Structure 1
Amino acid sequence: MQDHFTLRGVRIPNDPQIITPQVKRSILAERYEKDEVTGLPKFIDPKDRVVELGAGIGFISSFLVTQLGVRNAMCIEANPTLCEFIGRVHQANGMSNVDVLNAVALSDTQTLGTANFYVREPFWSSSLDPEPEYVKEVDVPKHYLSTLLREFDANTLIVDIEGGEKVLFDGADLVNVQKVYLEVHTRKIGLRGIKACFDALSDLGFAYDQRVSSGGSVLFRRIGRR
């Protein structure tokens, strides 16, 4: 069995428990995170300090570091099994400068504690939503997004949290963040959810950047006051 795959310069260990047939097909066809890796080089600067919510298998963080030269990144992932795998992906790519936190990030209007996270196959279908059917339920610590951003001094936020974006920015404090790169999940939150998400970002001083956005991956930039 092949011990690893290489996708856009990133080495990914071939662990069948994580890299299931559906995930493998996506990787081999270079469809996996295609919109994101197309968009990221258009706005990422090596000096950016990046927090990634919904880090998946660690591919995006590895791409940022190994291909785009980012020196400061932090991964936040709710699935504890994926957190372990992210560490292996980072190790396979010679990375030791990216922290991985098993957590759910939330806005300041919500309550700390633990969240029920529902694990599904393929892993990218996992979410905080108990519907549809899931493989298992795990309790995950909650952290305020604003605190995580402030402590890391992040200026860039990447978000792929399977519908959680609908309320993530409600009453949020994005501190010093200048760029938010967001995957929207229309099938999960519908048009009203997308409007709520975009309205919240607009209220926080962010504008949609059409030049970078493509499909479900959209970039918002903070705009200054006139």
Structure 2
Amino acid sequence: MQDHLNLHGILIPDDSQIITDRVRRSISAGRYERDEMTGLPKFIDPADRVVELGAGIGFISSFLTKRLGVRQALCIEANPTLCDFIGRVHAANGIQDVDVVNAVAVSEAQSGETSSFYVREPFWSSSMDSKPEYERVVDVPQVSLPDVLRDMDANTLIVDIEGGEKGLFEGMDLVNVTKVYLEVHTRKIGLRGIKNCFDSLSALGFVYDQRVSCGGSVLFRRMRGR
């Protein structure tokens, strides 16, 4: 039987192809997704319908469903190898009803269109950016984020896409989403990129929630009755 790591009650297969020494140290020390573990319980409701962009190894989706009681969640991950691993993490935790889609979310997806995704180690360094050096590049299908949100009637969007957030929200139709939980990557997008995220979400009617935001993980709530 394969060994598993345990992080906040979530079992993670200890596969050295994915869980490299650096990743293992982060998990063992409790640093992995620490800000998210602080923030998520403060605003997630079991009735939330969650779409996660940049699902990584499937830890967040597993925590949402196994520990916070979320019953409807969808993972979108660009790295095909991680998509397979997410399925293994879900299986290890008895999670059956969370779909995993290998895709890049965009505002408008054309049939057959793909995006280049640059794979690095550790996995969390992979991104849509060709710099710095990368191990390999894969062509990933595009999917329309508004269509995904509409089909699921999602009210919560979680985003951790290693700098891809910079222009994600410009003119984006977030349909019925009322909560956006965003990890901002300052080293990737700089201060102008952060300003663009805040400005774009503000234009869509979202406001920064100081009570939940922690470190680089920022919660935005949609204002009603403006």
Corresponding residue for 2:215? Answer: 215
Aligned-pair Cα RMSD in Å: 1.2
Deviation, 1:85, is 0.1
Please tell me the residue identity of whatever aligns with 1:166: K
Match of 2:194 in 1: 194
TM-score (structure 1 length as normaliser): 0.97
Query: In the TM superposition, what is the alpha-carbon distance from 1:212 to its structure 2 partner?
Result: 0.2
Residue in structure 2 matched with residue 27 of structure 1 by the alignment? 27
The CA distance in 1 between the partners of 2:148 and 2:6, in whole Å, is: 31
Q: Does 1:205 align with 2:188?
A: no
Identical counterparts, % of pairs: 73
SS in 2 for 1:209: strand
What TM-score comes out, normalization by structure 2 length? 0.97
Output the amino acid matched with 2:62: S
What's the secondary structure of 1:84's corresponding residue? helix
SS in structure 2 of the partner of residue 187 of structure 1: helix
- Superposition pairs of residues 91-102 of structure 1, within 5 angstroms: 91-102=91-102
Aligned twin of 2:174: 174
Q: How does 1:47-58 map to 2 (within 5 A)?
A: 47-58=47-58
Could you tell me which residue of structure 2 aligns to residue 163 of structure 1? 163
Alignment of 1:1-226 (within 5 A): 3-108=3-108, 113-226=113-226
Shift of 1:152: 1.2
For residues 131-160 of structure 1, what are the alpha-carbon distances to aligned partners after superposition, in whole Å with 9 as ceiling and x for unaligned?
A: 000011000001111111111110000000
Q: Number of matched residues?
A: 225
1:128 & 1:169 partners in 2: Cα distance? 16
Gaps of 5+ in 2: none
Give the secondary structure class of the aligned counterpart of 2:90: helix
Q: After the TM superposition, which parts of structure 1 deviate over 2 Å for at least 4 consecutive aligned residues?
A: none
